[in-house]
Amino acid sequence: MEGLRNISSSPHFRSKTDTKAIMLDVILAMLPAMAISVYRFGLRSLLIIVVTVGFAVLSEYLWNLLMKKPQTVQDLSAVVTGIILALNMPPEIPLWIPALGAVFAIIVVKQLYGGIGQNFMNPALAARCFLLISFAGLMNDFSCAKIGFDAMTGATPLAMAKSGDMFRYGLLDLFLGNIPGTIGEVSALALLVGGAYLLFTKVINWRIPVVYIGVFAVFIYIFGYHDLYQVAYQVLSGGLIFGAFFMATDYATSPITVKGQFIYAAFLGILTGLFRLFGGAPEGVSYAIILGNLVVPLIEKYTIPKAFGKGGRKAK
Amino acid sequence: MSLATFKGGTHPYEGKELAEGSAIRKLDFEGNFFFPLSQGIGAPAKPVVAAGDHVKAGQIIAEAGGFVSANVLSSVSGTVKAIEPRMTANGLDSPCIVVESDGLYETAEGVGEKRDYTKLSGEEIIDIVKKAGIVGIGGAGFPTHVKLSPRFPEKVDYIIANGSECEPMLTSDYRLMLEEPEKLLGGMKVCLQIFPQAKGIIAIENNKPEAIKAVKEICAHEPNVEVVELKTKYPEGGERQLIYAVTGRTINSGVLPADAGCIVNNVATLAAIYDAVVNGIPLMEKVITISGDAVKEPCNVRVRLGASYDRILEAVGGIKEGITPAKYICGGPMMGQALFSLSIPVTKPSSALLAFLYDEVSENPTTACIRCGRCVEVCPEFLVPTLLAKAAENRDLEKFEKLEGMECVECGSCSYICPARRPLTQSFKVMRKKVAEQRRIRAAEAKQREAQAAEAKAQAENKKEEK
Ligand code: SF4
Ligand code: SF4
C-alpha cells in the first residue's frame, strides 16, 4: 500500500455550506437595506457601515491574536455583526459611537463568552442597547439637519405614533423608506427582499420572523388599535422587520428546537407589543429581542423533542 | 400521488450516475479467499473445518455460534490453508478461514437442487435460509433467519422489500431490481409463504424510475405485492424511517420491527432468499458497486464472497492513471468504513468499494458550533445532535442517555449538514458503544448481586435450620 490514507469515521461526505457561506448569505441579504440607506442618507451611511464593520473585524482579529486563539475573522461573522450594528445607527451619529459599539459587541458580548455560538445575547443588539443607555441623546437624534436630508421634524414614525399622529407618513412611505429612522430599518421593502433571500437560501426558516410579526400584529390589534391601518403602520415602522428577519433569527441567541422557535417568536411578538403600546419609549424591538435572548436557554431546556418512536404515538 | 417519506433527513450529492449504467458482470479469480467468522451483527461463527481440509463451494465451513449468528460458507472449492486473524473492513484483525481456490468451483452436495417453495412450510424455509448463511446484505448484516422467526409471527402484516438504496454512489440494488426483478419478487413470495396473512411491499426511491418500472411490470399480476415509491432523501432506507414511510408506524430502539408487524429485508437479501430456497444456491456471491471519482471505470460486479478488494479493483481497471486516491471506503459515503488497506475480503454486508480523489472530511476542518439548528432539522430520530455532542465532549454518559443518544441510528445526516463540520455522528458512535458497555456491565453486576443475595438468603436459611 502506497502512502497514507485518510481514515475517518463515517459520514465521508460534507455539505457545501459552511459557516462562512452562511455568513456571506446574510451579508448579501443585507445589501438591499445597505443600498437604500446610502440612497436615503448618502455617503454618511456608507461611512458608518465601513467604520462599524472595520472596528468589529479589527477587534476580533486582535482579540484572537492577543489571546493566541485560532483566527476566526475569515468566517465573516464579525462582518455580519458590524453591519447589523451599523444599520441600527441613526444617520447623524458621530462615528466614534458605532466604533465603540463594535468593540463592545465583539469583545464583551461575543469573545468574553467564548466566541461564535457561545454568546447568549445578540452582540450587535446588546451593543445597541448599551449605546442607547449610554448615549441616549445622540442615539435618538434622527433630525438629519447636518446631512441636509429633507428632515421633516426628525421624529420617527413610531415617535409620532406615540404622540397620536399616525398619518404624517403613509404606508407607502414606510414601505419604501421615505422616513427618518436608523439607517437600516427605514425601508421595509429592502428588508423583505433580504429576508426572502435568507428564506430562499434556507439560512433561516420562516418560523421566527412570521410568528414574531404575526403575534405582534394580533397583539396590538386586540390590545391597542382595533384598526388594520394602524396595525400595518406599526408593523412597517421601526425595527420590527429588520429585527424579525435579521436579529431574532441569530443562531446563537435563538432556540435550536422547533417548538422553542415558535415559543420564542411568540414571546418576542408579545414583548414588542407591550413595549410599543405601554412602554415609555416608542420603539421596543431591540429590548424585546435582548430579553428574549435571555430566556432562550430556558425555552430550549423544555422543548427538547421526543425521540422518533418515543412520542407516545402507538403503532397503528 | 404523494410520495412516502419520513420527517427530517437530507440530500447529499447522489453520484449514482457514475455506475448506474453499468450492467452487473461476473468476476472470478483464483487464489486465496478469506472468510471472516464474523460478518455482520451477532456472535462469530465456529469453524467446522481445519487447515488442510478440502472444501467445496457452498459448503458450510463455520457454523452459527449462537442464536443471533449465521453460518459461513465457502464460495469456492479448494483447500483450507489456515484459520488466522486478518484485517477486515473495520481495520481490526479478526479470525478468518483462508481457502485456496482450485478454480474448479465444485459444488457441495445439494447445491443447485430446485425446490417448489409453495410446498414448503415456514419452518422449512427458515431452515433453508439459515443453512444458506443469509444475513441482511444491504449493509446491516443481521441474520435473516432470525428476522424471519419473530416472537409473534401472526402479528406480521407487512413484508417490506427495501429498494431505497438511499446511500449516495451505490447502484448495486438498482441494477439488481432492473436486471433480476423476478428474483426479488420470488424472494418476496417465499417470505409471504411464511407469513400468509402479510402484504408484500416493495419500496423504491423515486430517483430510480427504471427500476420502479421494471419491478412494477413484474408485480402487475400480484394482488398481494405492492410497489411503493419513496421520496429520494437520505436516510429513506433506514429501517425505522422506511417502516414509517410505508406504514406510518413508529418504532424506537426498544421495539423490534416485527413487533410493529413489519419485516424489512433489503432487495438483494430477498434475491438471495429466492436463490437459496428455490434454486438451492446458498449465499456465495454478491453484487457490489465499484465507484468514486478516482475509479477508472465505475461499475457493478458480482463477486464471490471472500475475494479481496485489491484484486477486484485491479480486475475492473483500477484507479485512474497518475492518481492517488485520498480515501477508500467500503460501503456508502454516509455510513461506510474508511479503509486502511485494500487487502480485505468482501463479506456478506459489503455493498461497495469507493475511491475518492479528495477527502471532504480532512479538507473541512472543524470549527465552533454556531447553533444553526441544521443538525436538529435533519435528524430522522428527532434528536438534538449539538447537545448530544456536548454530552459526548464531556464524556457524560448519563446526559447522553437522557438526551436519547441511544436512539441515534448513526446515519451521519447531522455531520453531513453541519456547517461547522462538527464530528457529531463520529462522537455518538463512541458514546453509544460506551453506554452499551456500561449497560452490559450494570446488567452483569445486577445479576451478580441477585445471585449473592440468593446465596446469602440460602445460607441464612441453612443457619436457621442448623439452630
Ligand atoms: S449543525 Fe453544527 S453548527 Fe449547526 S447547530 Fe448543529 S452542531 Fe452546531
Ligand atoms: S444524531 Fe444520529 S440519527 Fe440523528 S442525524 Fe445524527 S447520526 Fe443520524
**Residue-range domain boundaries for chain B:** 16-278, 285-356, 365-467
Which H or E run contains B352? strand B352-356
* Nearest atom in ligand 1 to B386's CA: 7
Predicted local distance difference test score (pLDDT) of residue A314: 40
The answer, yes or no, to whether any atom of ligand 1 lies below 6 A from the CB of B418, is: yes
CB contacts of B426 in chain A (<8 Å) are: 8-10
pLDDT, tens only, A170-196: 788 888 877 888 899 888 999 999 999
What pLDDT, on a 0 to 100 scale, did the predictor assign at position B166? Answer: 93
The answer to whether A121 touches A253, Cβ cutoff 8 Å, is yes
Q: For residues B325 and B293, give the distance between their C-alpha atoms in angstroms, rounded to a whole number.
A: 9
> Residue of the nearest CA to atom 5 in ligand 2?
B379
* Closest residue CA from atom 6 of ligand 2: B414
**B436 CB near ligand 1 (under 6 Å):** no
Closest to A100 (Cα-Cα) out of A140, A142, A134, A63:
A134
B373 CB near ligand 1 (under 6 Å): yes
Question: Does A14 contact B334 at a Cβ distance shorter than 8 Å?
Answer: no
**Per-residue pLDDT at B378:** 95
Q: Do A251 and B370 touch (CB under 8 A)?
A: yes
Q: What per-residue confidence (pLDDT) applies to A316?
A: 34
B430-451: pLDDT as tens digits: 999 999 999 999 999 998 888 8
Residue B287: pLDDT above 80?
A: yes
Question: Which residue has a Cα nearest atom 8 of ligand 2?
Answer: B411
What pLDDT, on a 0 to 100 scale, did the predictor assign at position A303? 93
pLDDT of residue A181: 84
Element holding B25 (H helix, E strand): strand B25-26
Q: Which residues of A touch B249 (CB under 8 A)?
A: 315-316
Pick from A10, A17, A256: CB nearest B384: A256
The whole-number average pLDDT for the span B414-420 is 95
> How close is the nearest chain A Cα to the Cα of B416, in Å?
5
Identical fold for domains B16-278 and B285-356, yes or no, is: no
The percentage of residues in chain B with a pLDDT greater than 70, rounded to a whole number, is 99
Label residue A154 by pLDDT band (50, 70, 90): low
Which pLDDT does position A3 carry in this prediction?
Answer: 47
pLDDT of residue A26 exceeding 80, the answer is yes
Helices (H), chain A: 19-41, 43-66, 77-87, 96-103, 123-134, 136-139, 157-162, 171-176, 188-200, 207-220, 228-236, 240-242, 258-278, 285-301
Q: How far apart are the first and last CA of chain A?
A: 53
What CA–CA distances, in Å, run from A213 to A26, A240, A245, B345, B408? 20, 7, 10, 60, 36
Touching check for B196 and chain A: CB below 8 Å? no
B349 lines ligand 1 (CB under 6 A): no
Q: Measured on CA atoms in the order B71, B72, B78, B83, is the torsion positive or negative?
A: negative
Residue written as cell 435533519? B378
Q: In this predicted structure, what is the pLDDT of residue B363?
A: 83
CATH number at residue A29: 1.10.3430
Taking an 8 Å cut-off on Cβ atoms, the answer to whether A10 and B336 are in contact is yes
Look at the alpha carbons of A73, A75, A78, A80 in this order and tell me if their dihedral is positive or negative.
positive
Out of B244, B327, B413, closest to residue A12 by CB: B327
Give the torsion through C-alpha atoms of A231, A233, A237, A238, to 10 deg: -40
- Which atom of ligand 1 is nearest to B421's Cα? 2
CA angle B101, B291, B34 (to 5 degrees): 20
- List residues bridging with B94 in a β-sheet: B86
Sign of CA dihedral A232, A237, A243, A245: positive
- Which of A179, B144, B365 is CA-nearest to residue B161? B144
Question: What rounded mean pLDDT belongs to chain A?
Answer: 88
- Ligand closest to CA A307: 2
Is the minimum CB–CB distance between A4 and chain B shorter than 8 Å?
no
Q: Looking at residue B466, what is its pLDDT?
A: 64
pLDDT greater than 50 at residue A313: no
Residue minimizing CA distance to atom 1 of ligand 1: B418
End-to-end CA distance of chain B: give it in Å, rounded.
81
Best CA proximity match to B239, nearest among B213, B265, B259, B221:
B265
pLDDT by residue (tens digit) across B225-243?
A: 999 999 999 999 999 999 9
Residue A275 in this model has a pLDDT that exceeds 60: yes
Provide the 3-class DSSP secondary structure of residue B325.
Answer: coil
Residue A176 counted as domain residue: yes
What's the CA gap between A211 and A196, in Å, rounded?
A: 15
Number of domains in chain A: 1
Burial of B159 from C-beta contacts in 10 A (0-12 / 13-18 / 19+): buried
pLDDT of B52 reads 93
The grid cell for A34 is 445597505
- Categorize the per-residue pLDDT at A8 as very low, low, confident or very high, splitting at 50, 70 and 90: confident
Residue B282 to chain A, least CA–CA distance (Å): 31
Helix (H, G, I), strand (E, B) or coil at A100: helix
Do the domain assignments include residue A108? yes
Residue B347 and residue B44: Cα distance in Å, rounded? 13
Task: Report chain B's C-alpha Rg in angstroms.
Answer: 23
Q: Nearest CB to A19: which of B367, B404, B413?
A: B367
Task: State the SS3 of B215-271.
Answer: HHHHHCCCCCEEEEEECCCECCCCHHHHHHHHHCCCCCCCCCHHHHCEEEEEHHHHH
Q: Out of A6, A116, A118, whose CB is closest to B326?
A: A6
Is B384 close to A304, i.e. CB distance below 8 A? yes
The whole-number pLDDT of residue A4 equals 55
Residue closest to B284 by CA, chosen among B59, B46, B44: B59
Residues 6+ positions from A164 with CB-CB distance below 8 Å: none
Q: Quick check: B1 pLDDT over 70?
A: no
- Compute φ and ψ for B291, nearest 5 degrees: -155, -175
Q: Which three cell numbers stand for residue B245?
A: 414511510
From chain A, pick out residues whose CB is under 8 angstroms from the CB of B413: 11
Q: Judging by beta carbons within 10 Å of its beta carbon (0-12, 13-18, 19+), is residue A307 exposed, middle or buried?
A: buried
Closest chain B residue to the Cα of A305, Cα to Cα? B382
Taking an 8 Å cut-off on Cβ atoms, the answer to whether A9 and B338 are in contact is yes
Residue identified by cell 404622540 is: A163
- Nearest-Cα distance to chain A for B465, in Å, is 51
Counting residues of chain A whose pLDDT is more than 90, the rounded percentage is: 64
| CB contact residues (below 8 A), chain B span 71-130, against chain A | 91
- Any idea of the CA torsion for A16, A20, A26, A27, to the nearest 10 degrees? -130
Classify A296 in phi/psi space as left (phi over 0), alpha (psi -120 to 50) or beta: alpha
Identify all chain B residues contacting A252, using CB atoms and an 8 Å cutoff. 370-371
Look at residue B88 in the predicted model and tell me its pLDDT. 86
Flag whether pLDDT at B304 surpasses 70: yes
Q: What is the pTM of this model?
A: 0.90
Model confidence over B351-399: pLDDT tens digits?
999 999 988 888 888 999 999 999 999 999 999 999 999 999 999 999 9
The CATH architecture assigned to B285-356 reads Roll (3.10)
Q: Which of residues 235 through 264 in chain B touch A, CB cutoff 8 A?
A: 240, 244, 247-253, 255, 259-261
Within-domain flag for A12? no
How far, in whole angstroms, is CA B426 from its chain's centroid?
19
Given a cut of 50, is residue B299 above it in pLDDT? yes
Which CATH number describes the domain made up of B16-278?
A: 3.40.50.11540
Look up residue B24 and give its amino acid.
I
Confidence class for position A151, pLDDT limits 50, 70, 90: very low
The pLDDT value recorded for residue A1 is: 41
CB count within 10 Å of CB B396 equals: 14
pLDDT of residue A145: 54
- C-alpha dihedral sign at A45, A47, A48, A53: positive
3-class secondary structure, B22? coil
Within a domain: A314: no
A vs B, Cβ pairs < 8 A, gives 177
Q: Do B10 and A17 touch (CB under 8 A)?
A: no
- pLDDT, tens digit (0-9, with 9 covering 90-100), for A245-260: 999 999 999 999 999 9
Tell me, yes or no, whether A297 lies in a domain: yes
C-alpha cell belonging to residue B344: 480485505
What pLDDT, on the 0 to 100 scale, is given for residue B467?
Answer: 59
For chain B, the average pLDDT equals 92
Q: Which residues contact B367 (CB under 8 A, 6 or more apart)?
A: A18, A19, A72, A75, A116, B420, B421
Nearest Cβ partner for A116 among B364, B370, B376: B370
- Has residue A13 been placed in a domain? no
Domain that holds residue A247: 19-301
User: Are residues A86 and A183 in contact, defined by beta-carbon separation less than 8 angstroms?
Assistant: yes
Position B136, amino acid: G
pLDDT at B30 over 90: no
